[in-house]
Structure formats: C-alpha cells, structure tokens
C-alpha cells in the first residue's frame, strides 16, 4: 500500500462516479439540492490532476494530501466528511511501518469512519452515507478478526454496502439537507449512501484485481 495504490483507488472511484453521474444527480434532486455528485467529481478531478504528487507519497501522506485537496474542492456537507474519512485513515495508518495486514486495513478504515461520525454526528438510521460506511467498517472488522481471505473481504464488503445503501430508501432523514423534507424524504435512496456504496464497490474490485 502506497501512493500508487491510493491513486488507483481514486481512479476506480472516478470511473464509477462518472458512470453513475445522472443517477446520483437525480437522487440528490429528489431529497437534496442536486449538487452532491458534482461536488464529488470536482474533488476527484482535482485529485486526478495531482497524480504525480500523490503517487510519489507513502500511503498515509498520500491519503492526507488527497484529504486536504478534497476539503478545498468538494464543498457542501460532504467535503468536510470525505476529508475526515481520508484524514482519519491517514492518522491511523501512520503508526504501522510494516506491510499492511488485513487487520490493519480494517482498523484504518474504521478509524476513518469514526472520524466522519465525529464530524457529522450521524449514526446508523439517519439516511446518510453513514448507513453504508458504518456497516461496512463493522463487517470488515469481523472478517479481519476471523482471518478471512482478502478475496472473501473484497467480495463481502460490496454486498454489505449494496444492501445498506438500498435500506436508506425507506428511512426518514434526520441529518443533512434531506431532513428538512421530513416524511417526504422517505422513498428515495440517499445520494451520499449511493456514492459511498459505488466507491466501495469500485475500490474493492480494483484492489482485488491488483492481487491477481
């Protein structure tokens, strides 16, 4: 895991968000202000423009570099939240000098998700990206605890993300802009849950491919 890995994951996230731009824009038009995917793509485009710098860094500093860039380019609610995710992961990975184990990766991801929770003060059930991030972090920790094979992890986490993304459809939004709609927020998938799920799926597929 190094800056090249981080860049490969950013590319994978970019590809899936480009592919699903119209769909995510429509979701955010229904329960938000429509800008979520465009905020995210602006940030990811800025990361693609600094490929050489990110690739030259070690894992933790590459994540930190990307985090700061996202903070200054994404905006909206999700800019500071994605900053927290990557910065939280960077802080947790700085300590491990040895090659990253599955347990390290699970702990690092969980630290990132905890940082988002502290920033956004949303738990499970508020109809946000946390409804995807928290269950994925929990399942990742369980799989690491039972010494699952990396292939099994790359297979399981996208399924957890998918099921929990779909579950946001029936939830009442109690955080973020969608909460202003009250009961009318029900019946629509949360755009941040969808973008997070797609990025998790793409990153897992990319990391699985790199192992082949």
Stretch that binds ligand ADP, among 91-99, 118-126, 180-188, 200-208 (CB under 6 A): 118-126
Alpha-carbon gap, residue 106 to 84, rounded angstroms: 16
- Rounded to 5 degrees, φ, ψ at 58 are -75, 170
Is 112 near ligand ADP (CB under 6 A)? no
Q: What does the per-residue mask of binding to ligand ADP show for 31-50, with x meaning CB under 6 A?
A: -xx-xx--x-----------
Is 158 near ligand ADP (CB under 6 A)? no
Q: Residue ranges of the alpha helices (H) in 121-190?
A: 130-145, 150-167
First to last CA, the chain: 15
Place of tokens 């928290």: 134
Nearest to 28, CA basis, from 190, 159, 182, 212: 190
Residue nearest to ligand ADP (CB): 192
Nearer to ligand ADP, 41 or 193 (CB): 193
Q: Which value, to the nearest 10 degrees, does the dihedral of the CA atoms of residues 185, 84, 197, 18 take?
A: 100
Q: Are 195 and 130 in contact (CB under 8 A)?
A: no
Q: What does the per-residue mask of binding to Mg ion show for 8-37, with x meaning CB under 5 A?
A: ------------------------xx-xx-
CB 162, min distance to ligand ADP, A? 16
Among 16, 73, 77, 93, binds ligand ADP (CB under 6 A): 77
Paired tokens of 58? 């070690």
Q: What does the per-residue mask of binding to ligand ADP show for 186-205, with x meaning CB under 6 A?
A: ----xxxx------------
Is 142 near Mg ion (CB under 5 A)? no
Among 43, 76, 135, 158, binds ligand ADP (CB under 6 A): 76
Alpha-carbon gap, residue 63 to 206, rounded angstroms: 17
The angle, 0 to 180 degrees and rounded to 10, between the axes of the packed helices 3-19 and 21-31 is 70
Nearer to ligand ADP, 93 or 128 (CB): 128
Sign of the alpha-carbon torsion through 4, 10, 12, 18 = negative
Is 78 near ligand ADP (CB under 6 A)? yes
Q: How many residues does the chain have?
A: 212
Is 175 near ligand ADP (CB under 6 A)? yes
Residues that bind Mg ion (CB under 5 A): 32-33, 35-36
Residues that bind ligand ADP (CB under 6 A): 28, 32-33, 35-36, 39, 76-78, 81, 120-122, 128-130, 175-177, 190-193
């Amino acid at each position: 895991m190094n800056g090249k890995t981080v860049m490969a994951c950013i590319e994978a996230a970019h590809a899936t968000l480009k592919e699903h731009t119209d769909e995510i824009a429509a979701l955010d038009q229904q329960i938000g202000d429509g800008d979520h995917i465009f905020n995210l793509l602006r940030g990811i485009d800025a990361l693609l423009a600094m490929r050489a710098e990110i690739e030259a860094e070690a894992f933790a500093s590459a994540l930190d570099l990307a985090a700061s860039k996202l903070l200054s380019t994404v905006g909206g609610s999700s800019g500071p939240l994605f900053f927290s995710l990557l910065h939280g992961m960077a802080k947790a990975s700085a300590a491990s000098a040895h090659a990253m184990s599955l347990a390290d990766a699970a702990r690092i991801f969980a630290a990132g998700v905890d940082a988002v929770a502290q920033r956004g003060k949303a738990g499970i059930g508020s109809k946000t990206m946390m409804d995807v991030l928290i269950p994925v972090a929990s399942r990742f920790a369980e799989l690491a605890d039972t010494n699952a094979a990396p292939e099994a992890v790359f297979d399981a986490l996208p399924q957890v993300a998918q099921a929990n993304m779909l579950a946001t459809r029936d939830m009442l939004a109690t955080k973020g802009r969608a909460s202003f709609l009250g009961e009318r927020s029900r019946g629509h998938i949360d755009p941040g849950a969808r973008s997070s799920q797609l990025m998790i799926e793409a990153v897992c597929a990319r990391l699985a491919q790199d192992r082949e």
